[in-house]
Amino acid sequence: MRKVIVMTAILALAACGQESNDKIERAKAASHSAVVQVPVAHWALELTEGQRATITDTTGRLMDNGFVPYILEKDGVQRFLIGPYATEAQAKQVQEQIKLKPKLEGIETDVIELPPSP
């Protein structure tokens, strides 16, 4: 992302006829000092054991209704999750949305805290 910003700044300066190395260096310095804080997602919905037997059917039904499940493998154990979400409240809200959709009847989930990334 930073490279794109730097290249955009360089091209903008060059297009304006201002090819000064000083201005280019200031644009590079500004792009390096910008730090963006991205919220870390720590919560997800895990499909319960009973849902795993019919994972292809369940996945299709979830995707048809706007929920994209994924597989998280840690220490050889596969977990089928929906999310991730920044807060437990967001995960519970999505869990309620799933329960209220008639086409997703019978799909059960548990709200879990995700393990920290290595």
* Domains of the chain, residue spans: 2-33, 43-113
Determine the average pLDDT of the residues in 50-74. Answer: 82
Task: Calculate mean pLDDT across residues 89-95.
Answer: 95
pTM, two decimals, is: 0.60
Tell me the C-alpha distance between 7 and 1, whole Å: 10
DSSP helix, strand, coil percent of the chain (3-state; round to 5): 50, 20, 30
As to burial, measured by CB atoms within 10 angstroms (0-12 exposed, 13-18 middle, 19+ buried), residue 17 is exposed
Domain 43-113 CATH superfamily: Sporulation related repeat (3.30.70.1070)
pLDDT in tens, 68-88: 899 888 788 888 899 999 999
